[in-house]
Amino acid sequence: MCEFDLITRYFQRPTPQTLLGPGDDCALMRVAPGMELAASSDLLVSGIHFLPDTNPRDLGWKTLAVNLSDLAAMGARARWVLLALSLPTADEIWLTAFSAGFFACAQPFQVELVGGDVTKMAAGGALTLCVTALGEVPAGEALRRDAARAGDDLWLSGYPGLAALGLKHLQGEVVLPEPLRRLCVQRLQAPTPRLALGAMLRPLAHAAIDISDGLVADVGHIARGSGLMAEILLHQLPRLPEGVERAPALEALLAGGDDYELAFTAAPEQRPALARVAAELDLPLWRIGRMAATSSEPRVQILDPEGKIVPWTIEGYDHFREAST
Amino acid sequence: MCEFDLITRYFQRPTPQTLLGPGDDCALMRVAPGMELAASSDLLVSGIHFLPDTNPRDLGWKTLAVNLSDLAAMGARARWVLLALSLPTADEIWLTAFSAGFFACAQPFQVELVGGDVTKMAAGGALTLCVTALGEVPAGEALRRDAARAGDDLWLSGYPGLAALGLKHLQGEVVLPEPLRRLCVQRLQAPTPRLALGAMLRPLAHAAIDISDGLVADVGHIARGSGLMAEILLHQLPRLPEGVERAPALEALLAGGDDYELAFTAAPEQRPALARVAAELDLPLWRIGRMAATSSEPRVQILDPEGKIVPWTIEGYDHFREAST
């Protein structure tokens, strides 16, 4: 099967919200009046970003989900996606499962695949996926990481840390009891992009980011971007899961990547409105700290109940420091 | 050096035409009123799309140029680009040269790099580059490959076939005399995206495509997309270069990819206007054939001066049939 047949067969679906979908030199789209275009690209490499034996259906889902998460973190609506793959072989079973997972993630969020590129790898090459997600956000309303204000609460969505525990389990570093194992592995393999949350946060939050590299590392981007100290209060963090030791669970929560939850800041007056958002989405929102003015270098501090600084050194996942998987 | 420092150091330049450049979850851009957004993604893998020992400055140029060529083929104006790389090592000399080449191509076309992603490869992995180019085209005016009309002339820009000869030379399959060698290698390594031509063709041409997979293969896309027979007249092709045998030179012209010239169709009334475009751009435009209605399967036919069909089987470059480099 040639490259063009592959694209037609596995990656061509109707694109009613697109002027011109896959098959030409470019896709053509109309950005609605009054909207800004939001764009993000991610490259996923087997052995670095996912385990080589990842189920292709899960991989298809996750490949799209992690990029939609970037749109969610800006408060954008997801609209279009371009997908480029390089494959070791044109394996039809793999392609069927991968594309099913990809479109399973695209469908509920009404995202249309508008462009693609498929390449055969050099022998022994690592499967590589590149996704570019495009979305729309009302002009001037995007949630940037440099817009936190002193006095803001610091919030965190969902179930952070579970994905990292799932990875530790798959790598044999911890042993998780059921049903925690299943939950953690599911969070790792099929994260939910928080698009609904991001959209509802636009009028309420000041700054937002998605937790892809780890809570402390990503909140650090908000702190440095906004010139503020981010204070995470240890006793306000979500309770650690039962059935696993405290040390790896806390490390997973503070430094584990791959959760794709949102961290955001909002003025304290928004607490009731955020409680309503949590109820409406049936998604926990944890108020884990605050943003404070600082005369020293902006960064993240973790404080114990007495306000003392808890030493914390693991700064999260960095591809050039540690390629752990 | 960590991932974020790498991006800041090598891939962050001023982006005055962008609302929010690199550094947040997404870039933010404003598409001008009355314009459609054009988008294209390409994945380039070492050993497949370029020779592993390619000079990094040339590679930086070409990585961007091939994607801008897709915008040119739609008649779009290039605006923004996202770049994702996976690198075997964070080699500063390589990164300096690569980014210099990339921005050398971006600058004359006023393209802004708005997003990036840098990943360390698994050991032994092939250097992989993914570019997504974004452009603007006036609503309804894009040059699509399905819009050729029966009776149109078929045109070809520039110096097609030279890049493929340059590759054959580097692979030891032909020996090119100077200065042809230098010209062909330069065409291979630093192609010029025909953005100025594409923009000038918008009011004149019906259909267009860029020649990335080979003349016959790419004109075939116009033929099939438009439901017409494309007739290439052998005696109207550009003259083959001196100093190289006819067979490999003709094969390079008809089936060689990597030229990134434009093939397009236009009504015969446009011949004088197209002659003016050629003069203004100082770029040859070759009228190489015509588009004809057909009751058989739409495809490309090559005709000799008596109108007889010349047998031709090589259909151009397909990554899943032959990974030759």
Whether residues A115 and B319 touch (CB distance < 8 A) is answered with: no
Residue B87 is predicted with a pLDDT of 87
Helix-strand-coil percent breakdown of chain B, rounded to 5? 35, 25, 40
Q: Classify burial at B302, counting beta carbons within 10 Å of its beta carbon; exposed 0-12, middle 13-18, buried 19 or more.
A: buried
Whether residues B122 and A71 touch (CB distance < 8 A) is answered with: no
Q: Which residue has the tokens 């817009």?
A: A147
Measure CB to CB from residue B84 to each of A42, A145, A320 and give the nearest one.
Answer: A42
Whether residues B25 and A70 touch (CB distance < 8 A) is answered with: yes
Low-confidence ranges of chain B (pLDDT < 70): 1-4, 122-124, 313-325
Question: Which residues of B, range 223-242, sit inside 8 Å of A by Cβ?
Answer: 225
* Angstrom distance (rounded) from CA B265 to CA B230: 10
Residue A7 is predicted with a pLDDT of 74
Residue B1 is predicted with a pLDDT of 55
Question: Which residues of B, range 28-87, sit inside 8 Å of A by Cβ?
Answer: 28-31, 33, 36-43, 45-49, 69-71, 73-74, 76, 80, 82-86
A262 touches chain B (CB under 8 A): no
Nearest residue of chain A to residue B86 (CA atoms): A43
* Angstrom distance (rounded) from CA A271 to CA A274: 5
Residue A316 is predicted with a pLDDT of 45
pLDDT tens digit at each of 325 positions of chain A: 566 677 778 888 889 999 999 889 999 999 999 999 999 999 998 888 888 888 999 999 999 999 999 999 999 999 999 999 988 877 889 999 999 999 999 999 999 999 978 887 756 678 899 999 999 999 999 999 999 999 999 999 998 999 999 999 999 999 999 999 999 999 999 999 999 999 999 999 999 999 988 999 999 999 999 999 999 999 999 999 988 998 889 999 999 888 899 999 999 999 999 999 999 999 999 999 999 999 999 999 999 999 999 887 654 444 443 333 2
Residue B323 is predicted with a pLDDT of 33
Domain residue ranges of chain A, discontinuous segments joined by +: 3-138, 145-323
A121 in Cβ contact with B48 (< 8 Å):
yes
Question: Which residues of A, range 103-132, sit inside 8 Å of B by Cβ?
Answer: 114-122, 124-126, 128, 130, 132
Q: What is the pLDDT of residues B161-181, one digit of tens each?
A: 999 999 999 999 999 999 999
* Chain B residues closer than 8 Å to A19 by CB: 36
- Between the CA atoms of A68, A73, A77 and A81, what dihedral angle is there, to the nearest 10 degrees? -30
A209 touches chain B (CB under 8 A): yes
The CATH-assigned architecture of domain B3-138 is: 2-Layer Sandwich (3.30)
Whether residues B27 and A6 touch (CB distance < 8 A) is answered with: no
Name the minimum distance, in Å, from the CA of A174 to any CA of chain B.
24
Name the minimum distance, in Å, from the CA of A184 to any CA of chain B.
25
Measure CB to CB from residue B120 to each of A27, A46, A323 and give the nearest one.
Answer: A323
A73 in Cβ contact with A198 (< 8 Å):
yes
Name the minimum distance, in Å, from the CA of B165 to any CA of chain A.
23
- Please give the ipTM for the structure prediction: 0.90
Whether residues B83 and A3 touch (CB distance < 8 A) is answered with: no
Secondary structure in 3-state letters for B153-208: EEEEECCCCHHHHHHHHHCCCCCCCCCHHHHHHHHHHCCCCCHHHHHHHCCCEEEE
For domain A145-323, give the CATH superfamily: PurM-like C-terminal domain (3.90.650.10)
Measure CB to CB from residue A120 to each of B30, B48, B144 and give the nearest one.
Answer: B48
Residue A126 is predicted with a pLDDT of 82
User: Tokens standing for A217?
Assistant: 């590392």
**Is residue A179 reached through a cis peptide bond, with omega within 30 degrees of 0 on the bond before it?**
yes
CA proximity to B232, closest of B171, B324, B154: B154
* Angstrom distance (rounded) from CA A9 to CA A304: 56
